[in-house]
Amino acid sequence: MSYCVYCEQLTKPTREHVFPSFLNKRADRQGLYYSAAAEKYVEGAPVVRDVCDACNNETLSRLDDYASDLFDRYFVHVIVKPVLFQCDPNRLSRWLLKVMFNGQRAFGGVEKSFLPYRPYILGKDPYPPRKVFLFGGVMVPSKFEGRFVLPRDFRLSELRPDERLLGVEFDIAHMLTLNSFMLCVISLKDVKLEVLPSNITLTLKNGLGLVQFSDEGEIFFDPSDSRIDHVSHKVNQTRNKPWLFGRNGNVVVGNKIFKITAHPRMRQSGSAVRDNKLSLMSVNVDNKLFAMIGFQVYPPQLREIQTRLGTSISESKRAYAIIERRKYKTYVTLVDPKELGRPHLDMRTGIEQSDENWRLWRSAFERTGLIYLIEGVGNAPRSSSVLCAVPILKVSIHEAGTVGL
Ligand SMILES: [Zn+2]
């Protein structure tokens, strides 16, 4: 017995597919699933095992039935000319949120952002806690080594928009790609904004070719709006997440190695990390607080020492921290004083941190003047785990503005 992650009733858990089984059955897909949230490829159909029978086989499966109809009508096709897409935006939003929430749990632990949306997903609440904006876009085929590579896979990704540039903090900015169809859910931390500021819609359009659904659930999926093709998408992932692909586009899943089709040969350069998965922690040692950052993928150039908290630790000469606090999120930039233009860590999307945790974390780094870097997120640090102690260059605190409207 365990608690259902959706309705919180104590029941016998059932298996729920992250990507509904109709996708596995009907799609002519490749053998791997990519999760940008988890930053890895997985083989076979990922499942979660924390959903009760009633939620899984009644409420959520009705959403799957709806999406399955949309799949037969639209998603199964490769978009070659503009497609007028019509849907019930409410049911599509709920289904997308469900798939994204399931994906987060299957690949990357419980994502707190999705928890308040559960009553809406289940249909118990007619409105989401924050207004949900739906966007769509087209992933076009690529010409690669003289042949066309069709976008035929499913993927979940986190968009990680540049919040400081856009002047907002995002609650959800996730995308599900089904073959040619990119389906994106956006919501903002600031519940007062009923309409998305135009700088956001323009950025999504210019950057990813995403267009907003009408309130009635209509949109043109127009390939001439597309900013992204199947192979370039992989190239971008390779650039942003070089650790993911190994050499020559080989992906390791468990004990197997897969060759990603149409993986462009390109050289990796630099080791700067952008939008790594991080956690901010305050750790108490001998009644003293230390401010830490845990990295899911530790930047190798910042492996300077290996020591325990509480001893005298030599300060990093390679990295300085710039910390910015907005209303809900904290942003950390790690710069090399000799290479200011190429930060070790450049965070476009902040890390959500409650006011209480922010105050603790801040008091800790103000006490020592340092932030301690460790490998791993979400776990209590091991005793000899500090790999770098970064002095703080600058702290700025301000609430998210509404610039650029
Ligand atoms: Zn349930």
Give the CB-side neighbour count of residue 139, counting CA atoms within 13 A.
24
pLDDT digits (tens, 9 = 90+) for 376-398: 876 666 666 899 999 999 999 98
370: pLDDT strictly greater than 50: yes
Q: Give me the residue label for tokens 């998965």.
A: 277
Would you place residue 301 in the very low, low, confident or very high pLDDT band (cuts 50, 70, 90)? Answer: confident
pTM of the predicted model over 0.75: yes
Q: List 250's β-bridge partners, or say none.
A: 259
Q: Are residues 241 and 134 in the same domain?
A: yes
Q: Does residue 43 fall inside a structural domain? A: yes
Q: Does residue 322 fall inside a structural domain? A: yes
pLDDT digits (tens, 9 = 90+) for 247-282: 556 666 666 666 555 444 443 333 345 556 788 988
Residues whose CB is under 5 A from ligand 1 (ion)? 4, 6-7, 52, 55
Q: Are residues 141 and 72 in the same domain?
A: yes
Cα-to-centroid distance, 313 and ligand 1 (Å): 49
Cα-to-centroid distance, 11 and ligand 1 (Å): 8
**C-alpha to C-alpha distance for 307 and 91, rounded to whole angstroms:** 52
- Phi, psi dihedral angles at 397 (to 5 degrees): -130, 120
Q: List 35's β-bridge partners, or say none.
A: 40, 156
Task: Please enumerate in sequence order all residues whose Cβ is within 8 A of that of 80, keeping only pairs 6 or more positions apart, or say none.
Answer: 223
Q: Are residues 134 and 33 in the same domain?
A: yes
Task: Give the model's pLDDT for residue 155.
Answer: 82
52: pLDDT strictly greater than 50: yes
Percent of the chain at pLDDT exceeding 90: 49
Domain limits at 346?
Answer: 273-397
Task: Please enumerate in sequence order all residues whose Cβ is within 8 A of that of 242, keeping only pairs 6 or more positions apart, or say none.
Answer: 268, 271
Cα-to-centroid distance, 398 and ligand 1 (Å): 40
**C-alpha to C-alpha distance for 97 and 102, rounded to whole angstroms:** 8
Mean per-residue pLDDT of the chain: 83
Q: Does residue 312 fall inside a structural domain? A: yes
**C-alpha to C-alpha distance for 402 and 399, rounded to whole angstroms:** 10
pLDDT digits (tens, 9 = 90+) for 97-146: 999 999 888 876 556 789 999 999 999 999 999 999 999 999 888 777 77
Q: Does residue 104 fall inside a structural domain? A: yes
DSSP state, residue 382: P
Cα-to-centroid distance, 111 and ligand 1 (Å): 17
H-helix or E-strand spanning residue 63: helix 61-70
Q: Are residues 372 and 239 in the same domain?
A: no
Residue 42 in contact with residue 33, Cβ under 8 Å?
yes
Task: Give the model's pLDDT for residue 251.
Answer: 60
- Residue type at 286? D
> What b-and-e string marks burial along 274-285, b requiring 16 or more CB atoms within 10 Å of the CB?
ebbbbbbbbbee
Q: What are the C-alpha distances in Å from 37 to residues 116, 315, 391?
A: 19, 32, 30
Cα-to-centroid distance, 123 and ligand 1 (Å): 12
Q: Are residues 245 and 283 in the same domain?
A: no
348: pLDDT strictly greater than 80: yes
Among the three residues 230, 259, 288, which one is the final residue of a domain in this structure? 259
| No. of helices (H) and no. of strands (E), the chain | 9, 27
Among the three residues 259, 288, 315, which one is the final residue of a domain in this structure? 259
Q: Are residues 202 and 334 in the same domain?
A: no
Q: Does residue 405 fall inside a structural domain? A: no
Cα-to-centroid distance, 61 and ligand 1 (Å): 12
Q: What are the C-alpha distances in Å from 22 to residues 41, 72, 76, 400?
A: 20, 10, 11, 41
Number of domains observed in the structure of the chain: 2
Q: Are residues 248 and 375 in the same domain?
A: no
Q: Does residue 173 fall inside a structural domain? A: yes
Task: Give the model's pLDDT for residue 266.
Answer: 41
